[in-house]
Structure formats: C-alpha cells, structure tokens
Structure 1
C-alpha cells in the first residue's frame, strides 16, 4: 500500500470550526472554539486515514490574486470576525508545537498550495487525502486523490468523501468540468463573478452537455435557456475570467520536503503546554507527557493509620497550610509542597478520623482553602484565624467564569493541569493547589488594586454569610400550604377561562400548542414562526395582552404556575427539622459582585405582582421576635450622582427632593407642583433605565410610547443632567481602552463584548460598561453594611440576628426588646457604610412576617 499524505485546508477548517461551535474562551478572555474544533476534526481524520505524512496549508494574511482583474470583485468577501482572526496565529503555533508542517506562501492561496502538493505527491505514487470545507477542491479529485468535506446538519458533523467517480455521480460532471460549472454560476464568497442570471442547475446542465465553457461558447446559439445563451454571447470574457479565478493552480513554485512532513507523535511536551493554556481539558489525557504533574504526585500519600495521622499532623511546620475536604471522600492537608489525604469513605472512619481534621484546623497558623465557608460548618473551627479563600481571589481576578474549580485555579495560575481520577489524590491536588496559589493570587490582587477589596470586604463576608446560613429563616408551613392551595384554585380558574375563550382544551404549558391556537386558529397578529413553531415568549405575548384578554390570562396563568411550582411547592422541600430554611449564599456567581442565593433562591421572588409579594407572608420570626427590614433608597441613582458629579442630581439628593418628580418636571418641562403621577412614573422609568444604559427602543417598549418620544425623553434627561451623559460615555471609552471598568472599591468587571464583531454583543458591552460600576459599587456597599451590621449585633451581645440579604435589602430577626437597638445599628452601619457626595438613606419596616416588614 502506498504511503498516504493528508493535506488540510487550514483557513477553511478553522472557519468551519468557528461557526460550528458555540463561543469558548480559555478563562482569560481568549477565544478558543475555532482551535478546539480544528484539533477535534484533525484528530478524527488522522484516526480514520492513518496518514504517514501531514501538512496544513494557510492563506497569507493579505489577499492574493490569481488575475489582475480579481481586485474588482474583492469587496464581496466578508471580513473575518475578530474572535476568529485572533485564533489564526495561535492555531499555527499549536500545529507547529505538535510537529505538524504548516505551509503558507506569499502570492499563493491555500488551495493553490494544496493543489500543487496533491499533484506532486500523486505523481510520486503517494495516496493523497485532502480535507477542506471548500467544495472548490473537488476539482482536484482523481482515482488516487480523495477529497473529504465536513458537513454539519442538526448539530452533527459528517464527512463526505469524493474520488473522481464520486464527483461525477453526485454533480453529473467530472472534477475538471466542475471548474467550468463554478465559473458559470459564480461565487461571491470566493470573489468569482460568474455570468449574471446563471445558477447552479443551469450551469451544471450546460457543462454536462458541452463539457467546457469554451465548447459551450462555440455552440452558444444552441444553449438553453435563452438568457444563458445571451449572457454567454455577451459576457464570454467574464466567463473566461471566472474560469481562471476558479481554477486551482497545481504547478505552483514553492519549496517543500516530503520527509519534513512525516507524521510523528503529535502529543508533544510543547503541545501539552498549549493545550493547558487553552484549557482543552478533555484532550489532555491523550498526552503521555505531564512531567510537572508526575513530579508533584510523588510527594502525595494516602494514610489511614490513626497513629500515622497523628504524626503527620504533629509534623506540620508551614505557616500556611492548604486544606481540602469532600464529604464521603475525606480530607487532605498540604505542607511545604507535600500533601497527605485521609479517606473518610464510611461512617466508622468519619467518626474516628474527622476529629483530627477539625483539630488540624484549630492549630495556630494560616490556612488556605478553596471554599472556606464549607469548612466553617465544622463545629469547633475557629473563625478568628487568618484564612485565605482561593476561590474568592480567583473570582475577583476573573468574575466572568460561570463556575470556579480548584483545577481551573491550578491551570490558570500554576500552569498545572489536573486530570487525576483517584478521589483521595484529587484531594491532595486541591490542598497542594490552594497552598501554592495563595501568594501568586495575592500578588495579582495587589497588581489589580483589589487586595483591599479582598481583605476588607470579600473575606470578612464569608463569616457573615456563614452566620446567616446557620441562622436560616423560619417558614409557616400551614400558611405556605394555604398559599399553594390559593394558587391552585387560581390556576384552575384561569385554565377554564382560557379553554372557553379559545374554544378547545390544549396544553397551556406547551409553546407549540399555544402558538398554533393563538396564531393559526385565532389569527392573532405578530406571530413569529421558528423551527419549532410560533414563538410564545413573554415579550411576544406582552405586546398582545392589552388588546386580547385571553393572552393576558395566559400570562397570568404562567405567573401563577411558576409561583406554585417554584415557591409554594418548592419551598416546602427546603424546610429543615427545625422549621427553618437554611439556604446557601454565593459570592462567586455574578460578574457585578452581587450575592446570589440558592437552595432555595429567595432573590427572585416576583415582587412586581401582589400575589408574588404574598409569598413573603410565609416567612415568620420565632416567638418573642419580630422582623426588621431595612432597604436602601435608590442606592444606584445615588451612586450615579456621586460618580457623575452632576450638580443638579447631587443638589436634589442633598435637599431630599422627590428625585422622580424633579426629573419629570425637567424632562417634561412642567412646574414641579404640576407633575402628574403618569409623568412621575415615566420619569422613574427613565431614571432607572439610564442606570442600565437603556436605549430609545427599550424605553419605548417599557412605557408603550413611540421610539421618537422615548428618544426625546432620553435627550431631555441628558440635557437636565449633563454630568451623567459625560460619565456614561466616559465609562464606555474607558472600557474600550482598558478592557474593563471598576467600582468605587476597585472591583473589576472585564468587558470583552466591546471587541466583538457582533453589533448586538457590542451594544450589550456598552450597557455593561455604563452599569457595572454602579451596580458593582452598590453590591460592595451592601457587603460592607452586612459585615458591619452583623458584627455590631454580635459585639453588643444581642439575641437578634441577620437572616437575609436580597438586592438592596437586609432582614433582621430582632428580639422584641432589642428592636430599637437593631434599628439604630441598621441606620448607623448601612447609611454610613461609605461616604458619598450624596447621603445614603434606608427605609425601615417592622412586621410579624416578611410581607408586613417590607
């Protein structure tokens, strides 16, 4: 069997991978989807073809021209998206690191290189396989040159294979005749003009009959249809030019040594480093080289003997221990580069050996962990020691990741890729990682000016959140059931009314069935059909609701159904044996720094509708206690006033004026005393919309006004508060220049969206640049207030305790005799959490349930 060479059309496969995969980054903002897709296709093809030689051809960065007239058609080709462009040079570096030959030549396109190499190698009795997403390369197919073309359909990629016979079978023309078909029909993406009005079917029929453009021209009077005959007669020169453009050069002159393209082991140490940095975790097991990991693992051990554990703990000498714990697996401690793990894989060993872990955590010294809050749940672990939480530091440095694992930290900050499967050794790696990453992360926090934010806000907040999780919140199970029953009745009644108005029963929860009823049967306007049927998204239905009562009822049905499933039924699953819900508060989820809650999520209770707000009635204090609720008043607008330095806005807040009424008076040009409630509501929407970078389109949707009116509102607003316009524009420019924006406390929010080639994504980035400093500063202020309020309550020895934080609101379960003291603590520490150009103000409510207190 002849040796085989695989020739790959670099840009073509890279382009296909880019558009075929969702956006991916390596955690540092660099896009990787095209590279990852390319390598996946490459490995699959190598496995299938088992070539002896491999070469990847790339176009030069600057366009090349096979004909001087080619430049006339240059403008039709779309520019390469920046997210793809940045991956091209790295792709070449990765291939070279894998020992794969990369060829590019000034004056030649990749298909000319491939065509020439295919001809040379075929002539040298080598079997040739060409991989490309470009159908043009079918002209190279022969009995010994096979063309492989990836095709993606419904998310699945298959490879079509063509020898010369296969081209003829599928396209009714030979590979060489395929050139003439392409020339007649043209291809704007390849800058081939073709003949006007001649499509693929006509071009194929002409060449199948006459074999070439030249022969078709000789018989042009016979060519059908008449318009094609006319074009061929009048624009023959264009057809000849198109053929020249469509013809791949198979005799190009460039150096190439076949032996230099010999395919050896592509999983090299150099490639391993690239795969680490690109975070291609599932490809790393293919490598047999991982010297760093192997050297580290030699210092790990698993111990089960009680005396050996005691000795290991007694010998801990470092001033910063890395610790890790995983329920049902065990614990691990790292000291001076070494680590040991203790399995706790059954109740007996856990009972016997877990106390040693708690004992270790009580030793003097500093401790590092990936999730300190989890360790604080062990009884007896002191909270006054100098902890370092690696997950928090990593989050501050890169707040855009969806989740954080210690493996990510190891890879990003230690250049260490961990693919260990053994659970005990994995714990050793975690302890080792947190111990060794601490100083690196500390240095990076200092470089980004976030060290103070970490030390004074994020780390102290861990202890506050643990106090809140331990306290939990009491739920009145009877009231919760009554609430659920009330919702069930409402859902049942709405369902009956919807069926009556539509004239038939259907699954209201099925978007497909609902779309057919509303838009096909009832003929409602604005129906937008997708691949799966009509869209029944909330935005679509909300436009119809004012004029069509049945749509309004469907929206209400959805709201009640969500309330019942998520809250009435869902909350019951989280009530503990003490009658309280002990949820989880998360610090590392949102990009702006806001806290989120899970199990359950109490921050998404729909408070805009009364029935949604009523769920708060089920949350009650213990007997002898009452709820005290404190809510920041317009904190984000106050921060905007501070940031912008706008004199009118600052003056309004200092004078404690009604900011929405004042804005209405300025924007609508009416006396302050004559502002109507509608005008005030509209001004309120503008005030808060500006904070989020709202557009005229968005405001028109919110207020049900024309886009022109909305644009006038916004323009009048900026005329009223010119400092705000200057500040917001400045934030966008800063983000474009720096790649990020910051809060008052130096929290960074990267804005990679501003570099996107997608207009909608760039517009989103601009809104982020405007809003993130404001929303992030509000989150920072709330965190400072939480820490101070919690510490003040504890320092005073009160029985009261902080239970919840929801957006700009704190909920305290106050002992009845301590209510006034708690109110004073809230005023003191929430309103003085930070000094701004305008005063911070809180509203306080008291009640026998959360609904009353709010």
Structure 2
C-alpha cells in the first residue's frame, strides 16, 4: 500500500525550538530549531514515503478569526531567534524535495486534515507527523499519528489509552477543556479526566449539554455557566476536512534532492552529520563548529550540532534464555567500553533489590536482562544468581572499562548483590559536570535532550505517577525493555559526545580523570560504611527541643498579647505589621510584607517577637530534620545511617549530601553541636575529625600573592588577629575581641563579595565606618584588590574562572546588562576559585587517604566528609597512626604558597572530636 506522510511544520518548528539547546553556527545565526526539524525530515526520508507534504500556516486571518475574534489573541509573537530560522528551514525543506503547502484562510491543521481523509479515500496509508494533540481527532483506520522526535505512534487504541475517549470524541473533549494556547476558554476547572468522565457517561458533547442540570458541585456550576459557548468551542477545535485543494498524492510526490543547495545550507549551519549523510564527503572546515548565540559566549560551544545518528531510536533485545545471555557476554568481553545500568525496586541504593540489568556496546544496540519482574502473566526469567555468575568475570575485570550515568548507585546495588564492579572508568554525569557545571542539569533525560536532541522514555511513562505508580518489578517486559535498554544506550551515546570535548581540553580532562572519576569508588565506600547514630539520644533531644519550642511559643503569645499560629505567614503578617505596627523591610513578589528569615532578621532589633519566631523556627527545623528523622533513616540491615554524596550538584565542585544532609547540621549553635553528639563510635572505637583551618583564606593568599597575607600565614599567626592589627593600626597584643570579630567579618566577607552595607549590618556599625574598614584592608593587603580586579576582568573576557587545579566555573551573567545579575556573577567570580580550589583539595585528600586506608580497613574507616572536614571511625589504639597519616596527606593535597593546616580532634562522638 502506498504511503502519504503529512508533516505539521509549525508543530515541529516550535517543538524543536523549545526542546533543543540554543545552538548557533560559526556566524552566530541560531540553528537549534532548524537542526531539530532537519533531523526529523531526514528520518522521514529514510522511511521512503511515496508522497509527502510539509504544511505550514499561511499568513493572514482564517475562518476561525471570523467566528471568534479573540481566537489566538493571547498567543505571544514568535521569538526573534525562532523567526530567523523559518526561512532557512523552508530552503532546506525545498532542497530536500518536500512539497510545501500554505493555504490562505485556513490553518495548516485543516490542510492536513483534508489531505489525510482524501488519502484514505484513495487507498493510501496516511501518517500525520506531529506532536499536536488536536490531531488525535483524525485517527481512524488508515490514519495514524507519529511523533518523529520521540518515535511514538498513535493509533485508535493509543488515543483511548491516553485520553480515555475514542478519536471521534476528541473534539468534544477539547471543547470542554478549552485550549489556552489558542485562547479558547473551556469549562472552568474541567481538565481531561473530568471531560472524559462526562463524555463516557453522556455519550457526546451534546449529551453533556443536555444533562448539565444534573451535574453537581462547583464544576457543575462552571459547566452551566459555559453552556452558551460550548457549540462555538466545538467549531473552533474541529479540524476542517473539506478544504478545496487541487492536490492529491500525484502532486505530492517527493522531488529529487538538490544536493548542491543542501551542501551549501548544511555547511552554513554546521550540520556535519547531515553533510556526511548527503554524499559521504567530509564537511567544509568553515562550517564545522557550532557555538552559542551572541550574548551567551560564556557557555562553551559544542563541537558541532548533535549527530542525527545519536538521536535516532535504538533496537533493543530482551534476554530471556541462557543462549541469548551467553551471546551478549561474548560481546561484552570483546567490547572496548561497556555501558551498563541497573533497574531496581527502590531509590535507596542501600536497600533496593535488583530487578534487571541493561548493557550497550554500540550506539543504537542494547539489551535488557530482566531478573525480578513479578506481575500476572510475566514470562519466565533467568535465575538471578546464574546471570550474575555468568557476568561476574566481565564485571569484575578491571581491564574491561565500564561506563555509567551516576554509576555510584549501580556500584552499590551490584555490591549488595555480590558483584564488586571493577574498572568503572567513565561516567556521563561527571563528564557533563566537569565540562560545564552550570550549563544544565546533569541527569540523563536532560543531557539526552540537550546534547542528542533525544527525548527519552520517562519512568512515569512505564510506571505511572503519584499514588498509582507501580514498582519497576511490576512493569511489563514489553515496556520495561525499551525503557531500561535505552538507559544504557543513551549513556553510551552521550559518552561519544562528551569524551572528545574533554580530550580537547587538558585541564578539564585532568579534573575528570584525576579527581572526579577516582572519587566515585571512594564515596561509594564511605556511603556503604555509614555512620553509627544513637537513636535513643536523638529521641531524648527531640523531647527537649519540643519542650523548648513550647516555651518559646508561650513567650511569643505573651509578647503578641494573644495566641496565634507561629507557622502561619498570614497570621505572622497580621501580628507583626498590623497589630504591632512594625515596618516591613522585605516584601514578597506580590508586594505583601514578607515573614521569611531575611525579613525577620531585618526587624529583629525593633521588637523581641521576630527574634523569638526565628528561634522557634530554628528549633523546629532541627527537630523535624534531624532528631525526628535521623532515627527513621537507620538502615535495618546495618544499624547505621548511610548518606548519599553528590558530585554533580554544587557548581563550584563542592560535595553535597542528602538523606541525611550532613552539610547543614549547624556547628555554631549549641543545639547543632548537641545533634553531633548522637553520631557515635561503637565500643572499642572512637571518632576522629580532621578539619582544614581557614583553607579559603589560605587559598586567597595563594591566588593573590599578597605579601602581607602570605607572611602572616607563614608565621603561623592568628589571621583574624593579624588582619585586625593591620586594619586598626594596633599591635597583635592590643587587638580587642571586637576588633578581631570585625577583621574576621572582613576576611570572610570579601571572599563572598560582601558590600560595605552588608558588613555594616553584620557588625552593627555605620556604612561609612564599614567602608573605611574595607578601604584600610585593601591598603594593607593591595595584592587582594589586584587579584579581585584581575579575576573580574578575566571572567569578563573568558566567561569563566578556574581553580588552581583547572576546574572551570562558567558565569553566564558576567557581561549581563542587568546590574544585579552582573554583580552576582562578579561575586561568584571572586568566590568560585577559592571554594572550588578548596573542594579540589579535600577531594584530592580523600583519594590519598583512601589509598592509604586500603591496608588498614580492619582498623579504621573514613565515614563522613563535611565541608572542609574528614571524619573517621577507628580503633582507639590506632588513632595516633591514623592522625599522622591523615594530616600528612591532607596537608600535601594542595601545593600553595602558604602551608595548609589541619586541626584534629578525637572523642566518643562527633561533637567531642571537635
């Protein structure tokens, strides 16, 4: 049967524009949307349709505008970057041989609808290539929809599954729901579920209208209020299928490609994969590189637009017998790199059960080995232990490199199931993070869309959402296989994109190879070891905190003159600003007085109540986040708490942690330190904490080369006292406590970009006095000012700053016209090299210490990393040896112009070790 493909050009142009990154060619012309459409067209041509049409809206009003003048009235104008790509797109469409249709007075949807029905009448198989839900109304025998970007095909069953109504009721569904994009107002609060429910109950829109009086509740009132406009809605959302066209399949035959025109266009826009596909010739050099559009120069350019081959859907195998697995094991043994992924029944790697494994060794080819799918009718699956034993030689061979996406999770899962993965050599999450920590999120779905133009299958697509979400073990293999195998396949494809970019930059390659990748197994060991927590002590503290919260609450009632809900922003607004008459310093985005922490701090000097509320919130946060939650997080199998460390979150390279977040346990407050008392060592062991002393100030001395700072550190002076002596013109012995406090605020404030206003507020002094302090500081330490000026200038020129070890932080707003955005980027430019270098140093220290611990794991373990601190659990008799080894390695982790100092404490718990 001959096939007619009708392409909804507008739909794909907008979809590609919003889905793909803001690419541009070497001349700065935007190409992201153009790239997406070209890939879709190339994919369509590979399927060799007999006839095709690329349909676009014509300019000018349509019959719908006459029916309803407000139709599409709220639609924003086309973005300039997108408008610039329309004509180039049409040139390429024409050169590829597609007929282009634009018919005045109707929309592209109507042209497509008319041609689709004509095609069916002529005995053709019709495919409408679109992502627009409105076209579901056209689906019938002979007409199907395909979303070329995702590969999704929609037939009658798919329409019913997605919308809960058949194709012939889609128009009624849309009339009830309305369409905000086209400014068609539906029934207020009537979403797709409510509309489908009514249509299934009453048969049609007309049936719903006839029975409107019997529909109860607020939504029934809304329906009755909308009755008059529903017939018009139906006219507006119905695709016209009788447009007068002198066209049929004979007029829609594809023409021969204009190869020379395509070569010029592909070269101009940097579509290298399309050039290679065109005639096998290498692309011209002047069109090879794509770069960010103007104004975005701080984002590194991709080597070229994503390769279309990497954006195509793959072919995936479900392995259910021993012969198939044996064949794949042979492929794995011969592979240069093995991409692998695990599927489990839980997010907690320390408790999740293995449900299946996926592998890929070539882009577009992957396999899924189901091991634990349990649902009615599930096919027999290979024995898990047999599979793991068959895979063990490959997976535990350090000479066979493995690749993953956030593979630390998979290492945990496999270790808990008896297989210690060796040779974990590549991780696409970390590749992306090292290349540009701020360019995008680093999860696989985001990376695939940004770098491959590939829309992945989401977990919710196969397992559902919310309360109805099922475990992956309950997902049918027909859906589980493409989802799971795609993970390994896309990971391999992403690596093919990232690896050359890292290889092209020696500094970034070094950060990736010598810091981030080796750290993965180290963090995995720390997480697996966990930390012992005294649940009884936490419960006792929880009771104390609860009692104190009640006492603060009563004090707040007395100050306010009545009881109120301290957790209610609305009631706090009434008490503070209406009844007590305090002046609102901070406002919400809507202009109302704010009651957030900043707002309460700003008025805490004017009345005692804001300070009490802040105290109450602090106690409540400690109780809910730690004393109540930590006991619930104790792993029943190990009796310990196992945090998760994240390498690809903080832009500066700092590690973060979650479940629990160890980085946020307060250390300056007595209550925070008390929580640390619950982190204990088992009998016969102690806790040892090793903390870098003032590491960021030492890095400032190194980077600035300031002689005064360097001399103070080399002499082992108290840097805050030394700074106070310089700023206040006193001897070290004469410096007062208040002067040292002021100097400390200046030292750390400058690192974080604090202004004279901020310093004045922190010290409780006038702004002029604070400005004098800062000016005096810079006079005494001129190298610091020179470093800050130099760093800002370099950041403006290059768009990024670097750490001592070559880690890069891109600053997208460093040249922004908006002063606030630019100032924020300048503060980050000063701070990031220090925070990032500190992060690199402690990571290097962890690698060195972990290597030394390899021979002593029976006597000591590294159990936590928090800010600039490493925490250990060790035999009491081994502490002296451990201290000497750890301090030496931490101090040697960074070669600075000033010595690194490590302070060590030992105790029965974490607090005592400080």
Q: TM-score, normalization: structure 1? A: 0.68
1:815: Cα distance to partner?
Answer: 0.8
Q: Cα RMSD between the aligned structures?
A: 4.3
Write the mapping of 1:451-490 to structure 2, written as runs, cut at 5 A.
Answer: 451-490=509-548
Q: TM-score, normalization: structure 2? A: 0.64
Structure 1 residue corresponding to 2:673, chosen from 608, 613, 635: 613
- Rounded Cα–Cα distance in structure 2 between residues aligned with 1:797 and 1:498: 52
1:333: Cα distance to partner?
Answer: 1.3
**Preserved contact between residue 406 and residue 427 of structure 2 (Cα < 8 Å):** yes
1:553 corresponding residue in structure 2: 612
1:368 corresponding residue in structure 2: 403
Over 3 Å counting, the alpha-carbon distance change for 1:609 and 1:295 in structure 2 is closer
Write the mapping of 1:380-459 to structure 2, written as runs, cut at 5 A.
Answer: 380-382=418-420, 384-385=422-423, 387-401=425-439, 403-414=441-452, 416-419=454-457, 422-438=479-495, 440-448=497-505, 449-459=507-517
- Rounded Cα–Cα distance in structure 2 between residues aligned with 1:699 and 1:56: 60
Over 3 Å counting, the alpha-carbon distance change for 1:99 and 1:542 in structure 2 is same
- Rounded Cα–Cα distance in structure 2 between residues aligned with 1:603 and 1:730: 32
Over 3 Å counting, the alpha-carbon distance change for 1:93 and 1:492 in structure 2 is same
**Preserved contact between residue 512 and residue 533 of structure 1 (Cα < 8 Å):** no
Larger displacement relative to structure 2 (761-770 or 788-797): 788-797
Over 3 Å counting, the alpha-carbon distance change for 1:27 and 1:556 in structure 2 is farther
2:231 corresponding residue in structure 1: none
1:564 corresponding residue in structure 2: 623
- Rounded Cα–Cα distance in structure 2 between residues aligned with 1:128 and 1:402: 36
1:851 corresponding residue in structure 2: 911
- Rounded Cα–Cα distance in structure 1 between residues aligned with 2:697 and 2:24: 31
1:450: Cα distance to partner?
Answer: 1.2
2:325 corresponding residue in structure 1: 309
Q: Secondary structure at the match of 1:851?
A: coil
**Preserved contact between residue 714 and residue 898 of structure 2 (Cα < 8 Å):** yes
**Preserved contact between residue 331 and residue 357 of structure 1 (Cα < 8 Å):** no
Q: For 1:298-353, what per-residue CA distance to the aligned partner results, in whole angstroms no more than 9, with x for missing partners?
A: 4x222211232123213431121111222145211112443211123426757356
Structure 2 residue corresponding to 1:333, chosen from 356, 359, 362: 359
Write the mapping of 1:716-727 to structure 2, written as runs, cut at 5 A.
Answer: 716-727=776-787
Q: Secondary structure at the match of 1:715?
A: helix
**Preserved contact between residue 751 and residue 769 of structure 1 (Cα < 8 Å):** yes
1:590: Cα distance to partner?
Answer: 0.6
Q: Secondary structure at the match of 1:519?
A: helix
- Rounded Cα–Cα distance in structure 1 between residues aligned with 2:107 and 2:452: 43
1:458: Cα distance to partner?
Answer: 0.8
Q: Secondary structure at the match of 1:374?
A: helix
- Rounded Cα–Cα distance in structure 1 between residues aligned with 2:864 and 2:672: 18
Structure 1 residue corresponding to 2:336, chosen from 303, 313, 319: 319
1:797: Cα distance to partner?
Answer: 5.1
2:600 corresponding residue in structure 1: 541
- Rounded Cα–Cα distance in structure 1 between residues aligned with 2:732 and 2:31: 58
- Rounded Cα–Cα distance in structure 1 between residues aligned with 2:20 and 2:830: 24
Over 3 Å counting, the alpha-carbon distance change for 1:548 and 1:349 in structure 2 is farther
1:468: Cα distance to partner?
Answer: 0.4
Q: Does 1:342 align with 2:359?
A: no
2:314 corresponding residue in structure 1: 297
Q: Does 1:842 align with 2:859?
A: no
Q: Does 1:821 align with 2:881?
A: yes
Write the mapping of 1:168-207 to structure 2, written as runs, cut at 5 A.
Answer: none
- Rounded Cα–Cα distance in structure 2 between residues aligned with 1:99 and 1:29: 17
Over 3 Å counting, the alpha-carbon distance change for 1:125 and 1:496 in structure 2 is closer
1:443: Cα distance to partner?
Answer: 2.5
1:144 corresponding residue in structure 2: none
Q: For 1:565-617, what per-residue CA distance to the aligned partner results, in whole angstroms no more than 9, with x for missing partners?
A: 11111212211123210111111111000001011101001222211221101
Write the mapping of 1:560-599 to structure 2, written as runs, cut at 5 A.
Answer: 560-577=619-636, 578-599=638-659
1:54 corresponding residue in structure 2: 58
Over 3 Å counting, the alpha-carbon distance change for 1:712 and 1:94 in structure 2 is farther
Over 3 Å counting, the alpha-carbon distance change for 1:333 and 1:128 in structure 2 is closer
Over 3 Å counting, the alpha-carbon distance change for 1:540 and 1:795 in structure 2 is same
- Rounded Cα–Cα distance in structure 2 between residues aligned with 1:383 and 1:658: 47
Over 3 Å counting, the alpha-carbon distance change for 1:714 and 1:389 in structure 2 is same
**Preserved contact between residue 22 and residue 32 of structure 2 (Cα < 8 Å):** no
Over 3 Å counting, the alpha-carbon distance change for 1:391 and 1:126 in structure 2 is closer
Q: Secondary structure at the match of 2:709?
A: helix
Larger displacement relative to structure 2 (393-402 or 620-629): 393-402
Q: For 1:233-282, what per-residue CA distance to the aligned partner results, in whole angstroms no more than 9, with x for missing partners?
A: xxxxxxxxxxxxxxxxxxxxxxxxx99xxxx99xx9999999x9999xxx
1:249 corresponding residue in structure 2: none
Over 3 Å counting, the alpha-carbon distance change for 1:340 and 1:357 in structure 2 is same
- Rounded Cα–Cα distance in structure 2 between residues aligned with 1:272 and 1:635: 46
**Preserved contact between residue 625 and residue 814 of structure 1 (Cα < 8 Å):** yes
**Preserved contact between residue 690 and residue 869 of structure 2 (Cα < 8 Å):** yes
- Rounded Cα–Cα distance in structure 2 between residues aligned with 1:632 and 1:490: 34
**Preserved contact between residue 409 and residue 433 of structure 1 (Cα < 8 Å):** no
1:357: Cα distance to partner?
Answer: 4.6
Over 3 Å counting, the alpha-carbon distance change for 1:658 and 1:33 in structure 2 is farther
**Preserved contact between residue 22 and residue 31 of structure 2 (Cα < 8 Å):** no
Q: Secondary structure at the match of 1:525?
A: coil
2:796 corresponding residue in structure 1: 736
**Preserved contact between residue 304 and residue 342 of structure 1 (Cα < 8 Å):** yes
1:26 corresponding residue in structure 2: 21
Q: Secondary structure at the match of 2:787?
A: helix
**Preserved contact between residue 58 and residue 104 of structure 2 (Cα < 8 Å):** no
Over 3 Å counting, the alpha-carbon distance change for 1:737 and 1:587 in structure 2 is same
- Rounded Cα–Cα distance in structure 2 between residues aligned with 1:532 and 1:568: 36
Structure 1 unaligned regions, length at least 5: 1-7, 9-13, 40-49, 58-83, 102-120, 130-154, 162-257, 280-289
**Preserved contact between residue 395 and residue 421 of structure 2 (Cα < 8 Å):** no
Q: Does 1:748 align with 2:774?
A: no
2:147 corresponding residue in structure 1: none
1:24: Cα distance to partner?
Answer: 10
Over 3 Å counting, the alpha-carbon distance change for 1:302 and 1:505 in structure 2 is same
**Preserved contact between residue 405 and residue 428 of structure 2 (Cα < 8 Å):** yes
Q: For this pair of structures, how many residues does the alignment match?
A: 644
**Preserved contact between residue 846 and residue 853 of structure 1 (Cα < 8 Å):** yes
Over 3 Å counting, the alpha-carbon distance change for 1:551 and 1:344 in structure 2 is same
**Preserved contact between residue 392 and residue 458 of structure 1 (Cα < 8 Å):** yes
- Rounded Cα–Cα distance in structure 1 between residues aligned with 2:499 and 2:32: 32
- Rounded Cα–Cα distance in structure 2 between residues aligned with 1:336 and 1:704: 64
Q: Secondary structure at the match of 1:846?
A: strand
Task: Return the index of the structure with the highest Cα Rg.
Answer: 1
Over 3 Å counting, the alpha-carbon distance change for 1:381 and 1:35 in structure 2 is closer
- Rounded Cα–Cα distance in structure 2 between residues aligned with 1:320 and 1:376: 16
- Rounded Cα–Cα distance in structure 1 between residues aligned with 2:422 and 2:837: 27
**Preserved contact between residue 740 and residue 751 of structure 1 (Cα < 8 Å):** yes
Over 3 Å counting, the alpha-carbon distance change for 1:56 and 1:581 in structure 2 is farther
